[in-house]
């Protein structure tokens, strides 16, 4: 048996409590990981509140990324990822189940950790951010040398890592928005060229100033709502808006000729519902393109705070109140 | 001097009247065409009414496509398009000026006509539709063998030609919407696999039935308004919606998670405001990919009606009332 965090419905609200269940058994292509740390993501909070329609095959335990040690391997796990063996320290992208002492992970979505260059705390912060950024900025956004980019929520877990990855690609300029001056400073500190405090300044006006009236190639947006139309105003001809969340609202009014005039591309994605084949393909790209930097200590996450898993509600509250800069982590 | 159709403002309404002005002089890379026929497009009506913000360099005379005879060539026109010579029958895409006895055209955007296989009436119907379709379905939409496609306004000038070009690519299925049964029959007659009378049936439901619940790869839309959100419902995973007009309204409400869930791509374009380099590139593609079919009589436009240019207001009225199936042409 193992401890895990169970969703507990208390009338109108949901919270998490420590409970016990059987240790999961890995399928043929899975590994079993003894969890050390789990990265906290907004999707965890949505799922806790019943606001994310999880697919049937999804795990009903929260948690989409962990670091830990491989303690058991399915019979074919080695074939899918020959770099793995029992006793190895890894981080992994999950479809769920990370808020627990043990979790199974698809072996293709595990990454060997060199602890000289990445602590296990840091390792738990990598998968969700890196997969999201690779899928959206690289595969969908075609970000490359010299791409100009606007990242909303620049001080979030995804935002801070996006700034770092955009720097590796030499995207220029990297512009971010954040909700206070401290967050803006943090973004500049890790490599953003400009940071706009959206509570003080009109981000459309600032972006156009910073790009000499040209606009940007890519907008990565987690705000939604009325930002969508404003994002179109920030775009260069043939630029792309990529929606990965909608913290300010799902519905948005757009003006079709504004899209046509710029040949703007509006798109977006959910990492969690992406096909497994695509996730495996992203994992290969991450291993070959980004892991060489990670294994030299040249790419690390920004960690906001680490909570004992018993204090998970405090961790969630910190995220819901947008107090954090970078990633929040739970230790198991 | 030459005759042309001048926009005449009569208080609240604008109409066209015959007037005289100097025959334009071709620039170095232009040819001068004596116009035989001019294709009528919705943009002509919008421009007449002052509803299209034409760029400064645009011609204030209506008309974006003509057929006729080259009567004079700029000094470098031959360099830009070595297939041309004086006395040759051509059709041409224009930035304006076609509602006149003579017009200048960029030599790169002219196409030699083999009258055995395409009449001069038909030739005047080709440029706007072919450039629009190539840019949107091929370049933006990546339409290819087996692409499933939904074309709104299937019986329009663009729609009828889009059905024919989609057939050349063996797109499958080709689904169209149209506003009455006669228009639907016409679409089936020229190669649509299914035609939905949108006044009688819910097109989203029908498209999903016709694609076994999968949806389509590409939606080509000239309706806009509330169609945008419905179009998202018609899409396959990673499908594209391409907006080329907005007859039912420019504003549209969308729901961001509906885009994210399908990784839908919403985009669009104005042919008229595309950079000249891109238009030249499209012209090259049309010459090498579609003209071989045109020169064998295998690709022809659907002509709805031909009006003497003095009856231009009747022609416009027919288009505004959506009475037409295929292209409306003016003869000069």
Residues of B in contact with A252 (CB under 8 A): 253-256
**For residue A12, what pLDDT is reported?**
77
3-state secondary structure of A155: coil
Dihedral sign, Cα of residue B7, residue B9, residue B14, residue B16: negative
Interface contact A224-B256, CB threshold 8 A: yes
Interface contact A252-B255, CB threshold 8 A: yes
Ordered structural domains, chain B, with CATH? 2-126+295-331 (3.90.180.10), 129-268 (3.40.50.720)
Chain A residue with minimum CA distance to B256: A250
**For residue B18, what pLDDT is reported?**
95
Interface test with A, best of B268, B276, B278 (most A CBs within 10 A): B268
Interface contact B254-A251, CB threshold 8 A: yes
Average pLDDT, chain A: 95
Phi, psi of A280 (to 5 degrees): -65, -40
Provide the shortest C-alpha distance from residue A266 to chain B (in Å). 5
Interface contact A257-B265, CB threshold 8 A: no
* Nearest-angstrom CA–CA distance, B252 and B223: 11
Q: pLDDT category, B54, cuts 50, 70, 90?
A: low
Q: pLDDT category, A10, cuts 50, 70, 90?
A: confident
Residue A118, C-beta contacts closer than 8 angstroms, at least 6 positions apart: A126, A294, A295, A297, A300
Residues of A in contact with B261 (CB under 8 A): 270, 273
Residue B63, C-beta contacts closer than 8 angstroms, at least 6 positions apart: B38, B39, B44, B94, B96, B97, B98, B99, B100, B103
Share of chain B above pLDDT 90, in %: 93
Mean per-residue pLDDT, A216-240: 97
Mean per-residue pLDDT, B134-141: 98
Interface contact A256-B244, CB threshold 8 A: no
Residue with tokens 């010299």: A146
Phi, psi of B325 (to 5 degrees): -125, 110
**For residue B30, what pLDDT is reported?**
97
Asked if pLDDT for residue A52 goes beyond 80, the answer is: no
Q: pLDDT category, A53, cuts 50, 70, 90?
A: low
pLDDT one-digit tens code per residue, B182-217 = 999 999 999 999 999 999 999 999 999 999 999 999
Interface contact A256-B251, CB threshold 8 A: yes
pTM: 0.94
- Which of B252, B255, B270 comes nearest A261 by C-beta? B270
Interface contact A256-B224, CB threshold 8 A: yes
- Which of A228, A243, A256 comes nearest B268 by C-beta? A256
Q: pLDDT category, A58, cuts 50, 70, 90?
A: low
Asked if pLDDT for residue A30 goes beyond 60, the answer is: yes
Residue A9, C-beta contacts closer than 8 angstroms, at least 6 positions apart: none
Q: pLDDT category, B104, cuts 50, 70, 90?
A: very high
**For residue B145, what pLDDT is reported?**
97
Mean per-residue pLDDT, A80-107: 96
**For residue A165, what pLDDT is reported?**
98
Asked if pLDDT for residue A55 goes beyond 80, the answer is: no
Provide the shortest C-alpha distance from residue A301 to chain B (in Å). 25
**For residue B58, what pLDDT is reported?**
55
Of A91-105, A184-198, B6-20, B297-311, minimum mean pLDDT range: B6-20
Residues of A in contact with B260 (CB under 8 A): 243-244, 268-270
Chain B residue with minimum CA distance to A139: B263
* Nearest-angstrom CA–CA distance, A222 and B267: 20
Q: pLDDT category, B12, cuts 50, 70, 90?
A: confident
Residues of A with CB under 8 A from a CB of B: 140, 224, 228, 243-244, 246, 250-257, 259-261, 263-270, 273
ipTM of the complex: 0.93
Chain B residue with minimum CA distance to A52: B257
Mean per-residue pLDDT, B311-319: 97
Share of chain B above pLDDT 70, in %: 98
Interface contact B260-A244, CB threshold 8 A: yes
Asked if pLDDT for residue B251 goes beyond 80, the answer is: yes
pLDDT one-digit tens code per residue, A234-271 = 999 999 999 999 999 999 999 999 999 999 999 999 99
């Amino acid at each position: 048996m193992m401890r895990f965090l169970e969703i507990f419905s208390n009338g109108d609200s949901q919270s998490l409590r420590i409970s016990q269940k059987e240790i999961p058994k890995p399928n043929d292509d899975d590994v079993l990981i003894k969890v050390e740390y789990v990265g906290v993501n907004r999707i965890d909070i949505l799922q806790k509140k019943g606001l994310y329609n999880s697919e049937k095959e999804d795990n009903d335990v929260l948690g989409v990324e962990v670091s830990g040690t491989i303690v058991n391997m399915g019979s074919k796990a080695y074939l899918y990822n020959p770099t793995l063996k029992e006793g190895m320290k890894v981080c992994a992208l999950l479809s769920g189940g990370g808020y627990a002492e043990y979790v199974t992970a698809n072996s293709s979505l595990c990454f060997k950790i060199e602890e000289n260059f990445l602590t296990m705390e840091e390792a738990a912060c990598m998968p969700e951010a890196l997969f999201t950024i690779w899928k959206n900025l690289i595969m969908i956004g075609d970000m490359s040398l010299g791409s100009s980019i606007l990242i909303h929520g620049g001080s979030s877990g995804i935002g801070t890592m996006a700034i770092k990855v955009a720097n590796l690609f030499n995207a220029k300029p990297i512009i971010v928005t954040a909700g206070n001056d401290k967050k803006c400073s943090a973004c500049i500190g890790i490599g953003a060229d400009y940071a706009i405090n959206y509570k003080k300044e009109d981000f459309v006006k600032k972006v156009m100033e910073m790009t000499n009236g040209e606009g940007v190639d890519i907008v990565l947006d987690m705000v939604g709502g009325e930002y969508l139309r404003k994002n179109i105003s920030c775009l260069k001809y043939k630029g792309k808006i990529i929606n990965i969340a909608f913290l300010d609202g799902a519905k948005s009014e757009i003006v079709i000729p504004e899209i046509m005039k710029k040949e703007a591309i509006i798109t977006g994605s959910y990492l969690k519902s992406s096909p497994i084949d695509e996730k495996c393909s992203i994992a290969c790209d991450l291993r070959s393109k980004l892991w060489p930097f990670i294994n030299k200590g040249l790419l690390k996450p920004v960690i906001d705070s680490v909570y004992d898993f018993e204090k998970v509600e405090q961790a969630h509250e910190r995220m819901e109140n947008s107090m954090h800069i970078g990633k929040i982590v739970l230790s198991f």
